[in-house]
Amino acid sequence: MGRKEDVVDIVVPELGEVEEVKLVRWLKAVGEEVEAGEAVAEVEADKAVFVIEAPSTGILAEAHVSEGGSTRPGEIIGRVKPG
Amino acid sequence: MDGVKPDWLRVAVPAAAGPTVRRMGELLRARGLPTVCRSAHCPNLPICWGQGTVTFMIGGDVCTRACRFCAVPHGRPEAPDPEEPGRLARAVNELGLRYVVLTSVDRDDLPDGGGAHYAAAIRAVREAVPDALVEALLPDFGGDREALRTVVAAGPTVVGHNLETVRRLSPLVRDRRAGYDLSLSVLRTLKELDPRLRTKSSLLLGLGETEDELGEALADLRAAGVDIIVLGQYLRPTPRQLPVARYVPPEEFRRWEERARAMGFPGVVSGPMARTSFRAAEAYREVVGQPQPATLCPPEAQACLELDSRAPKKPEGFLG
C-alpha cells in the first residue's frame, strides 16, 4: 500500500534475477482516470516487455520514473488515488 | 536482431498477483530453494508464481556446463546438499502443489551426474505428498544408463530432457559435453527403462534454424518416442548469451503445433512464451486424456486462494 492511506502504489513486479528494467512508456498520463486491471505502463527486460496494470480504480496521481528511465523489480513507479 | 521486441512478447502482469509473487519469493528464499524461473530470468515468472506454480531447480544453482543460451551461473558447484530433498518436500507441502516440476543443473563433477540426488528429491516429494505427480526435467547424465535408471526408479510421472535446438546448431548453442545424438539417446533410454513413462522435450525457435532442420528435429524426437513436445521462442536472458536470430510470429508457432500433432505427438505446447515447464500439468493431462480444471492452480494451493477471484489470464502468445 502507499505511504498514505489514500493512494495505492504501482510496483514493478518481481522478475527473478532481473535487476534492472527500462520504463518503456506510460500508457496513462498523470491526472488521467484508470480502472483496476487497466494497463498503465510498460517496462522492458532482456527477454520481454511487461505490461503493468493499475492496482486500483481512480486517478493516476504520481509517475515517479520517466519514459526511458531505469527502475527495478519491487520499486514503486507511481501511485493511483482511488476514486 | 534483439532490438525492439514484437508485440507478442508483451506479458501482462496482473496487479493482484504481486503480493502472491512476493510471498512465493520469500518462501523459496527462506527454504533455500533455487528455481529455474529466477535463474533463467523467465518472463513467465510473474504469471506462474502469481498462480502458485513454480519450477524447482535442484542440485544447487551452479551448473557445470556453459550452454550459450542459458543464464544459469556455471562453474564448480559445491557438493549437493543432502538436506535439499527434505526442504523441497516441505515446500511442496506448504504450497499445496499437486503437480511438481523439477529441473536441475548439470553435475558433471559427480560420478553419477547427480542421478542419486535427483532420485532422492523425487522420492522425498512422493513420500511427503503421495498424491502429487512429479515431472522431472533431466540433464543428460552423460548418457549414463544407470543414473537414468536410478531416477526412473524413484517414480516420476513425466520425464523430460531438452534437445534445445536442431542438429547443425547444437555445437554452437549447447555446451561441448551436450550433443544432439546424446540427447536423443537419453530420451530413447528413458522409454526403454519404463515404457509407461511420458517423455517430454523442448526446442527453442529463433536461433537460426531452418524449417527443414526443425522438421528433422521433430521427426527425430518422435522417433525417440517423445510424447510431449514444447516449442518456444529463444529469448536472450542477458547480453552475455547468444543474440536472437529471429522472432518467430505466433502464426508460425500455430503451424508448427499442427505439424507436430500430425506427426503423432500426443501433447504439444507451442507459442512464443512456451517453456518446458510452462503449463506442464495441462500438457500431461492432455496426453493422458484427463479433463482440464477450470483454473491453472490446484484448488488446495493456498497461494492461489489468496489471489483475487478473477480467473487467471492467459497472456497473448502463451499457447499457440
CA of A50: which chain B residue's CA is closest? Answer: B11
Q: What's the pLDDT tens digit per position in B177-208?
A: 999 999 999 999 999 999 999 999 999 999 99
Specify the pLDDT at position B251.
97
Question: What cell does B39 get?
Answer: 535463474
CA of A24: which chain B residue's CA is closest? Answer: B4
**Which of chain A's residues have a Cβ under 8 Å away from the Cβ of B41?**
15-18, 45-47
Chain B within 8 Å of A4 (Cβ-Cβ)?
Answer: no
Q: Judge whether residue B125 has pLDDT over 80.
A: yes
Residues in chain B: 320
Mutate to test the interface with A, among B5, B29, B72, B240 (most CBs of A within 10 A): B5
Specify the pLDDT at position A31.
97
Is A48 within 8 Å of B25 when comparing Cβ atoms? Answer: no
Q: Judge whether residue B303 has pLDDT over 70.
A: no
Q: Judge whether residue B319 has pLDDT over 50.
A: no
**In chain B, where the domains are located:** 10-290
Specify the pLDDT at position B151.
98
Q: What's the pLDDT tens digit per position in B62-84?
A: 999 999 999 999 999 999 999 99
The closest CB to that of B22, out of A14, A18, A47, belongs to A14
Q: What's the pLDDT tens digit per position in B245-269?
A: 999 999 999 999 999 999 999 999 9
Number of A–B residue contacts, CB under 8 Å: 86
> Considering the entire predicted model, what is its pTM?
0.87
- As a whole number of angstroms, the distance between CA B16 and CA B144 comes to 45
From residue A64, how far is each of A9, A58, B13, B19, B38 by CA, in Å?
11, 17, 19, 21, 26
Residues in contact with B170: Cβ distance below 8 Å, sequence separation at least 6, in sequence order = B164, B178, B179, B180
Specify the pLDDT at position A17.
80
- As a whole number of angstroms, the distance between CA B53 and CA B98 comes to 10
For residues B89-112, average pLDDT: 94
For residues A14-36, average pLDDT: 93
Specify the pLDDT at position B120.
98
Question: What cell does B193 get?
Answer: 527403462
For residues B283-306, average pLDDT: 59
Interface of A with B in 12-71 (CB under 8 A): 13-18, 36-37, 39, 42, 44-55
Q: Domain B10-290 is in which class?
A: alpha beta
Q: Which amino acid is at A12?
A: V
> Three-state SS for B50?
helix
**Which of chain A's residues have a Cβ under 8 Å away from the Cβ of B38?**
16-17
Handedness of CA B216, B218, B219, B224 (dihedral sign): positive
**pLDDT range class, residue B312, cuts 50, 70, 90:** very low
Q: What is the largest CA-CA distance in chain B?
A: 49
Contact between residue B262 and residue B281 where contact means Cβ atoms under 8 Å apart: no
**Which of chain A's residues have a Cβ under 8 Å away from the Cβ of B54?**
none
Which strands make up the sheet holding A76-82, listed edge to edge?
Answer: A8-11, A76-82, A58-63, A33-34
Pairing of strands B55-58, B158-160: unpaired
**Which of chain B's residues have a Cβ under 8 Å away from the Cβ of A53?**
12-15
Is A45 within 8 Å of B43 when comparing Cβ atoms? Answer: yes
- As a whole number of angstroms, the distance between CA B75 and CA B53 comes to 28
CA of B48: which chain A residue's CA is closest? Answer: A15
> Three-state SS for B265?
coil
Angle at B189 between CA B69 and CA B97, to 5 degrees: 65
Is B11 within 8 Å of A42 when comparing Cβ atoms? Answer: no
The closest CB to that of B21, out of A13, A37, A46, belongs to A13
CB neighbourhood size of B305 (10 A): 13
Which strands make up the sheet holding B55-58, listed edge to edge?
Answer: B55-58, B99-104, B133-137, B158-160, B198-205, B228-233, B267-270
**Which of chain A's residues have a Cβ under 8 Å away from the Cβ of B206?**
none
Mutate to test the interface with B, among A34, A46, A77 (most CBs of B within 10 A): A46
The closest CB to that of A48, out of B21, B38, B43, belongs to B43
